[in-house]
Structure 1
Amino acid sequence: MKIIKFMGMSLLASSLLLGAASVADKAKNAGLKAIPTDKAELMKLIDPNKTISPERLKLGKKLYFEPRLSKSGIISCNTCHNLGLGGVDGVPAATGHNWTANPHHLNSPTVYNAVFFDKQFWDGRSPDLEDQAQGPMQAAPEMAAAPSLVEARVNSIPAYVDEFKKAYGKDVKVDFVTITKTIGIFERTLVTPSRFDDYLNGKEDALSDAEKAGLATFIDKGCTSCHTGIALGGSMQPFPAVGKFKYANVGDFKGDKNGMVKTPTLRNITETAPYFHNGTVWDLKEAVKIMGETQLGMKISDEDAAKIVTFFKALDGKKPEIVYPQFPESTLKTPKPDFK
């Protein structure tokens, strides 16, 4: 009896291990990819053009938090993409200059892991983070700063000019493109490896049985048709695809000229409510059910939605340690804040 019992337990353990391995294999076969653990491999992905250096990272971080890059002098990149709040602002529509909400009722997407996106912005109009950084800075409802103002503010502060010389060489031209490019370089490092990555990289016990079941449900329902790759998102997809989006009347955003919308990343998704491009849903389980209706043409039950949300918790990643920077002081030449 003891031998039979032992054999039964061994078979059960083996089946659980095989089941765990098969879910990981299933995930990989569905196109899900882990953030590499090897630093050199990761750097090839996030910095293919080898633009990152310690000096540029330090300067880019300062500029990311620098409110004087806005017309009012009080709004920074971190205002809408708060690194302490999952890389978002936690409100339905991005709110900027003079407390103006985005006129299209667009929600701020997270900056964490954005380096893995195919395109930037909800309509995919920017190819990379460096180019994307130029948009919000100039947009009237956001930072509302003309390139000439941004250049004047930075060049009026000798300490900043010195930092640019250290980062790019003594002949660097501190212009709008170089300033925003440096912010993008910093953003490339905002990567958040999670237990999900550990699991795909071979650590079987990185996920609980419930999280593995949720991952399997996520794949079986077809969610990976859009939420795939390292970011579990970031590509351009039709939205809505097969069903009506119940909150489509909030805002007037219709995607790009072909009706394509950037698929948001699911990494750290539990931290980035409200959801969808117009920030209309606060309940993650409701968001899953809506996606089933609009993108997959199916009704996802409360039970299955709960399983998928349980898996999402495994996507909460380890954030880079960020120390709020101290900025160099303004001078008499620094353009004054403007609230008009």
Structure 2
Amino acid sequence: MSSRRKIGYTAAGTGLVIFLAFLYFPSSVLDGEKGDPSQSAIEVDLHDVYFETILAARNLHRPFPKMAVREDNPDSPEKIVLGRLLFFDPILSGDNTISCAHCHHPDLGFTDNRGQSMGRNGDGVGSGRKGGTVLRRGSPTIWNAAFNHAQFWDGRADDLEHQAIFPITDSTEMNQGREELERELSAIPEYADQFRNAFGGDKPVSFQNTAYSIASFERTILSDNSRFDKYTRGDQAALSTNERHGLNVFRSLKTRCFECHNIPTFNNPDFKVVGVPDLDPEKPDLGRF
């Protein structure tokens, strides 16, 4: 047997042992700490080299996908600042009572914590919002939405710039007219200056530039430095013991959560038929079709 073949068998055997160790040993062992005495655990003395290899075998630290940006809307600090102001300003709605943040609130994971969102004429934020038009779907989160290849639950918008148009003009949501919004924004000197700094040109305050600046801001809403991200980069203290056990269950073949909630965004770019029944059988939600 050649030395090359021996080396190949040795490498394969080592990889198999490491893989089986990861599946069999509890996370407390792999993390180098003593497990719960009430649980049956096998204490092993792993050399540093094997410990590091097992951690690498977890394959948790993965790069974020490439972010698509329109050629006619490159991001800039001026656009991001303007987009943030507009995102939280109810001036985007016809009666100046609802902003983007009412349905995508940062304290609620950039959603509204409702099964079905509430649009115009409502009062309040989140699950306590009442009195308004109940929409047929809930608000998707903006976290990492910049990596989606289509926007909305049904994918009807191509990108964030396209998506921003829909809720502003929808009669059940913000119910704002394009020309009216341009007039209102132009009448505020501070906004006029912000648009001029961000876009320049003869008519910087426009409905398109409003959508473009909001999209630029939303591309900054990224979860790339959470405690989980720190854990994947080697900070073992970033997650508690229970959280690490939960992560093992999340990634196991028993739950298969990872098949739809892929690392690192915990999202999936595809559209799935999951068999959720319609809330109103007389008004079926056809989804993407």
TM-score past 0.5 threshold: yes
May I ask how many residue pairs the two structures share in their alignment?
233
Q: Distance in 1 between matches of 2:53 and 2:230?
A: 13
The match for 1:196 is: 228
SS in 1 for 2:271: strand
The match for 2:121 is: 98
Letter in 2 for 1:122: W
Matched, 1:230 2:259: no
Q: Which runs of 5+ in 2 are unaligned?
A: 1-33, 35-42, 123-131
Q: Distance in 2 between matches of 1:27 and 1:83?
A: 30
Could you state the TM-score of these two structures normalised by the residue count of structure 1? 0.60
CA offset digits 1:22-69 (Å, max 9, x no partner)? 4663344xxx7355xxxxxx9x74768572222111111111111111
Q: Distance in 1 between matches of 2:227 and 2:68?
A: 20
Q: CA deviation at 1:186?
A: 0.6
Q: Which has the larger radius of gyration?
A: 2
Q: CA deviation at 1:94?
A: 1.1
Q: 1:21 to 1:89 in 2, by over 3 A?
A: farther
Give the RMSD, CA atoms, in angstroms: 2.9
Alignment of 1:182-261 (within 5 A): 182-192=213-223, 193-220=225-252, 221-240=255-274, 244-245=275-276, 247-250=277-280, 252-257=284-289
The match for 1:111 is: 142
Letter in 2 for 1:124: G
Q: Which runs of 5+ in 1 are unaligned?
A: 1-8, 36-41, 258-340
Letter in 2 for 1:249: L
SS in 1 for 2:246: helix
The match for 1:33 is: 62
The match for 1:76 is: 99
Larger RCO, structure (CA 8 Å, separation 6 or more): 1
Q: 1:148 to 1:213 in 2, by over 3 A?
A: same
The match for 2:38 is: none
Q: Is the 8 A contact 1:34 1:197 kept in 2?
A: no
Q: 1:224 to 1:17 in 2, by over 3 A?
A: farther
Letter in 2 for 1:163: Q
Q: Is the 8 A contact 2:121 2:133 kept in 1?
A: no
Identity %: 32
Q: Distance in 2 between matches of 1:190 and 1:51?
A: 16
SS in 1 for 2:216: helix
Q: 1:83 to 1:17 in 2, by over 3 A?
A: farther
Matched, 1:167 2:198: yes
Q: Distance in 1 between matches of 2:45 and 2:172?
A: 58
Q: Is the 8 A contact 2:161 2:214 kept in 1?
A: yes
SS in 1 for 2:215: helix
Letter in 2 for 1:136: P
Q: CA deviation at 1:82?
A: 0.9
Q: Distance in 1 between matches of 2:88 and 2:205?
A: 18
Q: Distance in 1 between matches of 2:53 and 2:160?
A: 35
The match for 1:180 is: 211
Matched, 1:64 2:103: no
Q: 1:148 to 1:172 in 2, by over 3 A?
A: closer
Q: Is the 8 A contact 1:199 1:206 kept in 2?
A: yes
Could you state the TM-score of these two structures normalised by the residue count of structure 2? 0.70
Q: Is the 8 A contact 1:96 1:141 kept in 2?
A: yes
Alignment of 1:121-140 (within 5 A): 121-140=152-171
Q: Distance in 2 between matches of 1:211 and 1:141?
A: 40
Q: CA deviation at 1:135?
A: 0.8
Letter in 1 for 2:101: N
Q: Is the 8 A contact 2:164 2:211 kept in 1?
A: yes
Q: 1:52 to 1:58 in 2, by over 3 A?
A: same
Q: CA deviation at 1:184?
A: 0.9
Letter in 1 for 2:142: V
The match for 2:31 is: none
CA offset digits 1:159-203 (Å, max 9, x no partner)? 212211111224344221111110110111112321211122233
Q: Distance in 1 between matches of 2:232 and 2:104?
A: 28
